[in-house]
Structure 1
């Protein structure tokens, strides 16, 4: 999974399929998708009911015949068909038509550090199924560093940490490549669960999982401490 920054610049669209959120950037347009990686399906008919934010709000609140699916786990596509259906719906028909007009559509996709060939193939198949003629895979750590504007191509060490929903990755970069990196199986979901358990056992409050992140953002920067304001 070695791709130069020049190769990335030639791509028409960039896709970040994360366990928590899916983001799509289109060259010349900007960020067109930034939604939760969730889809709600009617198991009786197979129909897609909702995706993204709306589907996430349905978690734990649906009848038995509606399944809330997460086609991405730990940054890896685990359900190619559902991931494609989710992306089609998130992109919308108008944008999909615009992308189809490009005869040699090139897409860039981020994949976790040290992801295995099977996981990489799942990502490629997902985007090829949406019309991409060529898919460039880039390490999530390099993609994050470039997105932050860090001097990854310089002959100096740059450190970055990426905290995802299921894992946290840390790396040292230099000359456009990863010098060393590590990955631990703890991410934002574990933090959210800790908040839920704390509120439940210490304050007897039941908080839905989808409400934890908005609560964290609302309290951020308000000067709160473990003892209170």
Structure 2
């Protein structure tokens, strides 16, 4: 690849995870950015933004720049990625070399959505960007040998999407994605509790 770090990013609707080759998972932060609504200035990213919620004046708004597994606010996503990548791309390599990034995307994604993810990563400081479908990444992470001719069914429930795929010979034979996922589960539980109590 190159002299820069090799970084894997799970760019989730609810949480961003960053893996650095040789170091493991080095960052796990909420996909939240706190923005001053009057000036448009970003005040905090990730956990710090999440902690500000409800404790600041009304002019501070929490923005979740990803909706249903894809980028809904390009500029805020770019700022969030730049902050997170900057936190992990440190030291000698980080100072002089841009990282190579592999980022997971939903199993079913449009070319426009793919380009938005690639562009956001490049603008945030990546030298090269590679995309991997979340069901493939989940299978590899679970230790499944995806090179086999037999099929393995993967169900990946995230915050914004649920991806379902049958994988054989390193490719999805069948795949589908639905916008019913963790966020919708949370909303249903909250509605139920409010009705009952």
Normalising by structure 1, we get a TM-score of: 0.77
| Separation in 1, partners of 2:194, 2:97 | 54
**Shift of the alpha carbon at 1:134?**
1.2
Alpha carbons of 1:54 and 1:103: their partners in 2 closer, same or farther (altered >3 Å)? closer
Given candidates 29, 34, 40, the residue that maps to 1:40 is: 34
Higher CA-based Rg: 1
| Separation in 1, partners of 2:170, 2:96 | 29
Give the equivalent residue in structure 1 for 2:181.
187
Identify unmatched segments of 5+ residues in structure 2: none
Give the equivalent residue in structure 1 for 2:169.
175
Say how many residue pairs are matched.
194
**Shift of the alpha carbon at 1:80?**
2.3
- Whether the aligned pair in 2 keeps the contact of 1:156 and 1:174 (CA below 8 Å) is yes
Give the equivalent residue in structure 1 for 2:106.
112
Give the equivalent residue in structure 2 for 1:128.
122
Give the equivalent residue in structure 2 for 1:96.
89
Higher strand share: 2
| Separation in 2, partners of 1:189, 1:105 | 31
SS in 1 for 2:124: coil
Normalising by structure 2, we get a TM-score of: 0.88
SS in 1 for 2:164: strand
Is 1:196 the counterpart of 2:173? The answer is no
Give the equivalent residue in structure 2 for 1:156.
150
**Shift of the alpha carbon at 1:103?**
3.8
Given candidates 128, 144, 147, the residue that maps to 2:141 is: 147
SS in 2 for 1:150: coil
SS in 2 for 1:182: strand
Q: Relative CO higher for 1 or 2, CA cutoff 8 Å, sep ≥ 6? A: 2
Given candidates 9, 12, 15, the residue that maps to 1:15 is: 9
Identify unmatched segments of 5+ residues in structure 1: 1-6, 204-229
